[in-house]
Amino acid sequence: MLLLVLVALFVWLGHHHLTQQLEQSRQGHHERQQREIRLAMQRSADNLRQLAGLTANARPGQCLGSER
């Protein structure tokens, strides 16, 4: 009976430890994804501001990238 209790305790501890590791791994992955998304959004916003500045400085009728 004592052996059965010890085995059950070790199984529960192993399960508990693995569950904690999985949750920590998921949290780390989620935080990395959030950082990547924020960075991508910041880059997009910077690019849009740059395009807005270029279009604001363009002469009427001027086509960006054309060699006229």
Q: Are 35 and 44 in contact (CB under 8 A)?
A: no
| Model pLDDT, residue 56 | 84
| Model pLDDT, residue 63 | 60
First-last CA distance in the chain: 91
| Model pLDDT, residue 11 | 97
> pLDDT tens digits, residue range 8-62?
999 999 999 999 999 999 999 999 999 999 999 999 999 999 999 988 887 776 6
- State how far the Cα of 68 lies from the Cα of 64, in Å rounded to an integer: 10
